[in-house]
Structure 1
Amino acid sequence: MVNLEWYRTFKAIYQQGTLTKAATELMVSQPNVSVQLSSLESYIGHALFIRLPRKMVPTEYGKLLYTQIVESIDNLERVEIEFKKSSIRKEPTIRLGVPSEVFYTYLSQNMNLVKSHLVVEYGLAMDLINKLRNDELDIAFITKQDKNPDSLTYEYLYSESFMIVCNVDHDTTEFDRYIADNDLVKAEKWLKAQSWYAYDTNLPLIRRFWRSNFLKRPIVKLKAAIPDNMAILKAITMSGGFAVSSDLIGGDTLKNGQVKVVWRGIIPATNSLHLAYDKNKIDPRLVDEMRDYITQSMDGYIDTK
């Protein structure tokens, strides 16, 4: 079996030029260095150095081996050094659950705000809640609160507002007129004639918006079900179509006018966003760190009421 220490010893001898200096660098005895080198030479079947009285001169095979392994050994040593530094600092690890679009749009741009070692996991609200209960996560930023009694704390952070969006070039003059006239029957008929995108075939966001404003389940032409809200907005931007989005999901896409807000509804459809955690299992300082990380990253994008 290959011993990594053989290669570290070989590298040290190659760079230092003598067994004595190599032993000093590795903080081992000279006989130990000699044994390690002999073991490597025996394993690969080639002499790696010419032993002179005061110098170790690499053979051609030794030079070839050095060029092949030096970068890998250097990388391993860097990892070892950083790992030791991290252990000395005793940086805590935080396992954060979050919707993928939230991390991509907001949090990924502000990693400098995180001092702890962060492990991110994507998921929908109920999946993240279940992982919190099973100790697979420490904390989660979720878009839905489970009403079942348990030990989790749900700390309110934001309220997101839903809206219908479409491609900026789509003519919505007719729809705007129906809304101005408060003719919801014709407005709904116009919307139902459009092509729609949804997160899945159950139409979760469309259904929520429809029930708030038309008091019924939606019957729309589904162009595609795409389980990625950012990809839906991209599809609308590039290819047209309609979807229900929110100020949380839309982020820069809404802020920069890349999609058109068609209608925010007569009765606003909203959703509360929470920081969920078990206060008996997480250091309050880590909760503070994640709260600050999320609120600073999302500052100015969505409602705080």
Structure 2
Amino acid sequence: MSLSFDLLRTFLAVYRSGSVTRAAELLTISQPSVTAQVKALEATLRRPLFDRLPRGMSPTPAAHQLARRIAAPLDNLEELVLGDLSGPAEAFGRAVHLGGPAELICERVLPSLAGMAAGGLQLRVTLGLPDGLLAALADGGLDLVVSSVRTRRGGLRVEPLWDEEFVLVAARSWARRLGAGGADLGSGQPAQGSEGEAELVRRAVERAPLVAYAENLPILRRYWRTVFGVRLTRSPTVVVPDLRGVAAAVAGGAGVSVLPRYLCTRELVTLHEPEIAPLNTLFLVSRAGAPHPAAAAVRDHLMEAARSWVV
């Protein structure tokens, strides 16, 4: 079989998505057709392009080399055709599938991408936890993932995106009640710096209910360990699997929590400002290799936009 545009286009879809199933969806053809075209291209080139895995397709060195050579020309041709035959909604080609934590996606990522959406970007968003989202990325179901963990999964490109700062917060009513124990919390001014002040704050908040993102208090436990130097062994009173819900519960007077500073509203009082604030690095993860132009444009835009996000 001679080398054709369709074979190369199908190869690039499988290469970028990492999945025959996902490539078939993107190309709107059947899975057997995708498999047959990949095999035909391998026969034409006389070399394997993918290792078949239980979940997905892993590119061989020959596939990486071929993708580098054909990605830009094919993308340019497809963009030229789509630009002539479609309206503004197709300006970026196919939709970009993006996953990440609900709070950051809603509060930072979506506002940053609003201009691109107005300019024709088609965006499909999946909210969830890192493990599931990264598995979907590796299987070709997503193009980009904002992750709170640095994955070691092969075939993925991981880039630091943004550092979020964690702060200990409560409603003003709780700050006044806790201040009765000796820490200067009732004024609404956070206690500053020293180990002695940190210990006063820790003893004060021991009397308050804890509001957490998850039953095992991952964010609070990290704060207690890094700022107070002790292990947190208490159980939460309220668990809300969305940090915006945690913030709302704390603002309503449910107790004390630790939140990213960007989620702290006027109704919340910062109880302590340690000399070194706990930071959590968020990562932008994509599949290794030549990304689709629309996904590459979103990646580049987010990397630039994150520089101006307020902590």
TM-score, with structure 2 as normaliser: 0.60
Distance 1:239 1:143 in 2: 28
2:122 counterpart residue number: 117
Shift of 1:288: 3.0
CA gap 1:292/1:138 in 2 versus in 1, 3 angstroms: same
Distance 2:291 2:89 in 1: 20
Structure 1 unmatched runs, 5+: 1-83
Residue 260 (str. 1) matches residue 263 (str. 2): no
1:30 counterpart residue number: none
Distance 1:223 1:87 in 2: 47
Residue 182 (str. 1) matches residue 186 (str. 2): no
Candidates 86, 91, 94, aligned match of 2:93? 91
1:126 counterpart residue number: 131
Deviations 1:191-247 (A, max 9, x none): 211111001110010011111123332133522111110011011112341111012
Candidates 237, 246, 262, aligned match of 2:260? 246
Residue 232 (str. 1) matches residue 246 (str. 2): yes
1:138 counterpart residue number: 143
CA gap 1:222/1:92 in 2 versus in 1, 3 angstroms: same
Shift of 1:258: 2.6
Shift of 1:88: 6.7
Contact 1:226–1:232 under 8 Å retained in 2: yes
Shift of 1:190: 1.6
2:160 counterpart residue number: 156
Q: Which residue identity lines up with residue 175 of structure 1 in the other structure?
A: A
Distance 1:85 1:181 in 2: 61
Structure 2 unmatched runs, 5+: 1-85, 186-190
Question: Match of 1:232, SS?
Answer: helix
1:199 counterpart residue number: 213
Distance 1:108 1:101 in 2: 10
Contact 2:201–2:271 under 8 Å retained in 1: no
Distance 2:147 2:300 in 1: 13
Residue 223 (str. 1) matches residue 241 (str. 2): no
Distance 1:293 1:149 in 2: 22
Contact 2:172–2:267 under 8 Å retained in 1: yes
Distance 1:106 1:274 in 2: 14
Distance 2:98 2:110 in 1: 13
* Bigger Cα Rg: 1
CA gap 1:286/1:167 in 2 versus in 1, 3 angstroms: same
Shift of 1:128: 1.6
Q: Which moved more, 1:124-133 or 1:259-268?
A: 259-268
Deviations 1:23-69 (A, max 9, x none): xxxxxxxxxxxxxxxxxxxxxxxxxxxxxxxxxxxxxxxxxxxxxxx
Question: Match of 1:140, SS?
Answer: strand
Shift of 1:298: 7.8
Shift of 1:296: 3.3
Q: Which residue identity lines up with residue 274 of structure 2 in the other structure?
A: G
Deviations 1:265-288 (A, max 9, x none): 344211111110013252255223
Distance 2:93 2:293 in 1: 15
1:283 counterpart residue number: 292
Shift of 1:139: 0.6
CA gap 1:298/1:195 in 2 versus in 1, 3 angstroms: farther
Question: Match of 2:163, SS?
Answer: strand
Distance 1:291 1:161 in 2: 23
Q: Which residue identity lines up with residue 231 of structure 1 in the other structure?
A: G
Contact 2:92–2:294 under 8 Å retained in 1: no
Question: Match of 1:212, SS?
Answer: helix
Q: Number of residues paired by the alignment?
A: 214
TM-score, with structure 1 as normaliser: 0.61
How much identity, in percent, do the aligned residues show? Answer: 19
Shift of 1:118: 0.6
Question: Match of 1:95, SS?
Answer: strand
CA gap 1:87/1:108 in 2 versus in 1, 3 angstroms: closer
Shift of 1:89: 5.4
Question: Match of 1:190, SS?
Answer: helix
